[in-house]
Amino acid sequence: MKLSEEKRREIPLGSYCYGYVPTSQSGFKSLSDVEKYLKEKYSDPFCKEIFEEHDNLLIRKFCPFWQSTDFGFVRCRFLSRIALKIPTDEEIENQAIQHFGSREKMESEVNGFLLGDAVKECNNNVDGDDFSFLD
């Protein structure tokens, strides 16, 4: 897939599928917009990260291609790969098995490994400081 410059700029720098940006630079107009984004985009609690650093409110902003599913997986739409979420517990694994119908079918569908921990497999924007974005 060929990326437009606009889409490439949305992919975080470094080794991970996310970065941190001050809310003032995130494109969100209010904290309620941030909360709505997190609720709609990411259904699992480990993705909902907002914290303060040096008096700046930062938000974890994911690559536009990385997506959490409702059945215990994460998906990279750029690579068309899926992986079990990390950390994986029994509940997440059971959701995935139920979605695919059997453990064997689930395991045959998994074609991404590091994605489950939001580690890049695509090699886009890998040069640069982890957890940052292009200016």
- How far CA 96 is from CA of 11, 31, 61, 104, 123, in Å, comes to 27, 32, 25, 11, 27
pLDDT computed for residue 6 by the predictor: 85
pTM above threshold 0.95: no
Q: Is residue 13 scored above 90 in pLDDT?
A: yes
Domain ranges of the chain: 18-62, 66-117
Tally DSSP H helices, then E strands, for the chain.
Answer: 4, 6
Q: Is residue 123 scored above 80 in pLDDT?
A: yes
77-114: per-residue pLDDT in tens?
A: 999 999 988 867 788 888 889 999 999 999 898 888 78
Which amino acid, one-letter code, is at 24? S
When comparing pLDDT for 67 and 58, which is higher? 67
